Amino acid sequence: MRAKITGVGSHLPNVVKKNEEFINHEFLNNDGSSFGSDNATIIQKFSAITGIEERRYMSDNLVTSDIATLAAQKAITDADCDPETIDYIIVAHNYGDVPSKGGTSDMVPSLASRVKNKLGIKNPSCVAYDVLFGCPGWILGVTQADSFIKSGLANKVLVIGAEALSRVVDPHDRDSMIYSDGAGAVILEPSDTEEGILGQSTATYAVEEAFFIYNEVSYNKQLEQKTKYIKMYGRRIYNFALSRVPEGMKAAMEQAGVDIKDLKKIFIHQANEKMDEAIVDRFYKLYDMTVPKDIMPMIIHKLGNSSVATVPTVMDLVVHGKMPQHKVEKGDVVMFASVGAGMNINAIVYRY
């Protein structure tokens, strides 16, 4: 017995923000000093490194639990599932519902309870809870769903990754251009065939790495400092990801007992195009192989980094034929992989 995905859906916010719209921002160093470069140069270098050309933001009338619900509805429809038969709703996020005009993040009740409410599910045996695990949160939710299904505690689990990072970025931090909003969701059910989750690996590194991603006040020292924003040590994260994520991916392959040559696609967390390419390159070097063509579908160019939403979103777009150069067929082996705050890494090997 293993868990298989029977439905997948995503929500792409409708506000498009292109790189050139940052041209008049006042970007500062972390000590409040000005950059030596003009914004056009900063944006050009940013695009060359990250691959990001534009990103999506939610409209002001929505919060994270709203877009989580929209993605969930699509997954439920795709699975032809009666919502009242769902046993667990797991929502991965990191910042809760943050209002568009700023203010305190709202996490009580949980976003999962809010999604259950918005879906109109009345069954009290449908248990709803949140996962805070950095960007790898959605993958962790899927591994938990797999455990519930294998143990007989669940027949249907809804796992959602949703985030509104546009609401928690410092406009004076050039890293703010990385982040975006989005949501992706899946329904998982039991499988008694080879289809489903074959293996997984998860790890947390928290000795020196715990605060590589953190919250801090704006770089603009002239502001009244109350609100804290998402911050990161980008170079440290890059080096960490390159050394640890390939190991985690290999561990998942070994648990699955799958030949690396049978791997058809890698749905990786879309954080930085150069970093993702380097991670996959190092992963294949562990097998003394070069990276196969079109192994890694990329959506970061147009959608940016929506944290927990990136992996289910890219999977949804590929599965439903919205990325014509990529496809997944029955029997194909794919991998989900992510890295993020904690610092956490995880990977799943899955057969369609």
Handedness of CA 172, 162, 91, 64 (dihedral sign): positive
93-120 pLDDT tens trace = 999 999 988 777 899 999 999 999 999 9
Residue 295: is it exposed, middle or buried by C-beta count within 10 angstroms (0-12/13-18/19+)?
A: middle
CA angle 182, 9, 129 (to 5 degrees): 70
Structure confidence by residue, pLDDT tens digits, 20-68: 999 988 888 888 888 778 889 989 999 998 999 999 999 999 999 999 9
Tens digit of pLDDT for each residue in 314-339?
Answer: 999 999 999 989 999 999 999 999 99
- Which tens digit of pLDDT belongs to each residue from 223-282? 887 789 999 999 999 999 999 999 999 999 999 999 999 999 999 999 999 999 999 999
> How far is residue 212's CA from residue 206's CA, in Å, rounded to a whole number?
9
Q: Domain 2-193: which topology? A: Peroxisomal Thiolase; Chain A, domain 1 (3.40.47)
- Rounded to two decimals, what is the model's pTM? 0.95
CA 344/CA 201 separation, integer angstroms: 11
CATH number 3.40.50.10470 given to 197-351: no
- The answer to whether 2-193 and 197-351 have equal CATH topology is yes
Task: State the average pLDDT over residues 70-93.
Answer: 98
**Cβ–Cβ < 8 Å for 242, 268:** no
Q: Where are the domains of the chain?
A: 2-193, 197-351
